[in-house]
Structure 1
């Protein structure tokens, strides 16, 4: 199954052939290095590096655009809020770093099977059993988190379509409230499904 956000796309690119361990390590390094990004110029270079991964992964531009579009619903209000309180310079850094990390994380999930990602995390968590960490439950949580990203994007699309049908495109409340309600309903359904399978604790 191919999708715009957070879903694996089969391919033979260099990134597809790279082991999941290496890609997760690179993602961790990017996350740690993001704290060193401190200027708009550094931020632009960070974002450009994230974008450069997409041609390397042979991901179509359309997929990149479809991924960024729902993200804008979060980043644009955040940018407006931050500009008011901390100014343009710091806002560019903050929003740019978030965008870059999402770009990197998304290209990892686009080029790596979810099962491969989860296998790596489960293997890393096995030494933590002695302090009560259940590697299988950690793997389940990660799987749910990955799959909830495109689910939320789909919900946002449905709510936006309903907004347009009612002529309320410019109303933030008409977007946020229905999105939260639908997300909570999906969460309840997911909780019931997990409880039925013995994960209620």
Structure 2
């Protein structure tokens, strides 16, 4: 069972060359890591949300579905920092920044999957001189994330219907109650990986050294313009961070 994150839309981001989107995603991840100030990361996060809404035609509800599984981790990140840094209000401020960074990284990563077909993504990696096996492995790994999440929810619902309480009791008790969820999840993951390997072998994967492709991708004028714009934005981010010291807070 494989869930595809790709959403069919007629948008600018969907029409861009996958190499541009891959390279832009890498630069976006680096740019997000450069900053730790909540104000700067809030601007980046909102910019990503608006860009996906208007340039990729991905609705806010569809973006929320991507961020929803990460919400508990973002909250935990924000709550932990007041215990690490003093005064607690400053720790909460820093924790908010790291939570926004996590959300921004998720939007950047999943925007690549939301706007790019799997075959185009693999072709993009190959055109960037990445071996086909690595490109296919990376693409399958990214696509398996929503599958694993959906499978976890299914197992949790099945165990709850049998009387398993996952949200009550002490922390140790709840951790112990996750074992009936983790065991079938691991078994199902191994089974899925085995079925995937059989499917690849049945198609003689790796038999030929030179591969041919039904579809080809080519860079166009709009792709070069988009790439130039991304490079300029990244250069601005680097200048703001290292020349003016904007968007960075000294923690220690």
In structure 2, relative to structure 1, the CA distance for the partners of 1:175 and 1:44 (3 Å cut) is: farther
In structure 2, relative to structure 1, the CA distance for the partners of 1:139 and 1:66 (3 Å cut) is: same
Counterpart CA distance in 2 for 1:159 and 1:191 is: 18
Structure 1 gap segments, 5+ residues each: 127-134
Structure 2 gap segments, 5+ residues each: 86-90, 169-173, 206-252
Higher RCO structure, 1 or 2 (CA under 8 Å, sep 6+) = 2
C-alpha displacement of 1:81: 3.4
Cα RMSD over matched residues? 2.6
Counterpart CA distance in 1 for 2:77 and 2:159 is: 21
C-alpha displacement of 1:167: 6.7
For the residue of structure 2 that corresponds to 1:79, the secondary structure is: helix
1:138 counterpart = 2:134: yes
Residue of 184, 189, 192 corresponding to 2:191: 189
1:19 counterpart = 2:17: yes
The answer to whether the 8 A contact 2:152-2:181 is kept is: yes
Counterpart CA distance in 1 for 2:157 and 2:176 is: 11
TM-score of the aligned structures, taking structure 2 as reference length: 0.64
C-alpha displacement of 1:186: 2.8
1:67 counterpart = 2:69: no
Counterpart CA distance in 2 for 1:77 and 1:176 is: 18
Who wins on radius of gyration, i.e. which is larger?
A: 2
1:76 counterpart = 2:69: no
Counterpart CA distance in 2 for 1:144 and 1:10 is: 19
1:96 counterpart = 2:93: no
The aligned residue for residue 8 of structure 2 is: 10
In structure 2, relative to structure 1, the CA distance for the partners of 1:79 and 1:38 (3 Å cut) is: closer
Number of residue pairs matched? 187
In structure 2, relative to structure 1, the CA distance for the partners of 1:186 and 1:79 (3 Å cut) is: farther
Bigger helix fraction: 1
